[in-house]
Amino acid sequence: MFKSLFKKNKEPEQVQAPLTGKIVALEEVPDPVFSQKMMGDGIAIIPADKKVYSPVDGEVVNVFPTKHAISLRSKMGVELLIHMGLETVELKGEGFQILVQDGTKVSKGDPIAEFDFEKVSSLGKEVITPVILLNGDQFKIENKQINTSTTGGKDTIMEITKA
Residue 2 or residue 129, greater confidence: 129
- Average pLDDT value for residue range 18-27: 98
Question: What average pLDDT does this structure show over 89-102?
Answer: 97
Pair 106, 71: CB distance under 8 Å:
no
pLDDT, position 8? 53
Taking residues 94-111, what's their average pLDDT?
Answer: 98
Residue 1 has pLDDT above 50, yes or no: no
Asked if 133 and 75 touch (Cβ cutoff 8 Å), the reply is no
Confidence band, pLDDT 50/70/90 cuts, at residue 10: confident
Question: What average pLDDT does the segment 93-105 reach?
Answer: 98
Q: What is the pLDDT of residues 38-52, one digit of tens each?
A: 999 999 999 999 999
What is the set of active-site residues?
83
57-84 mean pLDDT? 98
In order of their start, the domains of the chain are 11-162 (2.70.70.10)
Q: DSSP secondary-structure letter at 137?
A: T
Task: Say if residues 2 and 156 touch (Cβ distance below 8 Å).
Answer: no
Lowest mean pLDDT among 4-18, 87-101, 115-129: 4-18
Return the minimum-mean-pLDDT range out of 6-20, 22-36, 41-55, 121-135.
6-20
Please tell me the predicted confidence (pLDDT) of residue 99.
98
Rounded to 5 degrees, φ, ψ at 56 are: -145, 165
DSSP labels, 47-101: ESSSEEE-SSSEEEEEE-TTSSEEEEEETT--EEEEE-SSSGGGGTTTTEEE---
Q: Strand 51-53 vs strand 111-115: parallel, antiparallel, or unpaired?
A: antiparallel
Q: Please, which residues have CB within 8 angstroms of residue 151's CB and are 6 or more apart in sequence?
A: 17, 20
* Mean pLDDT computed over 86-96: 96
- Total-model pTM: 0.94
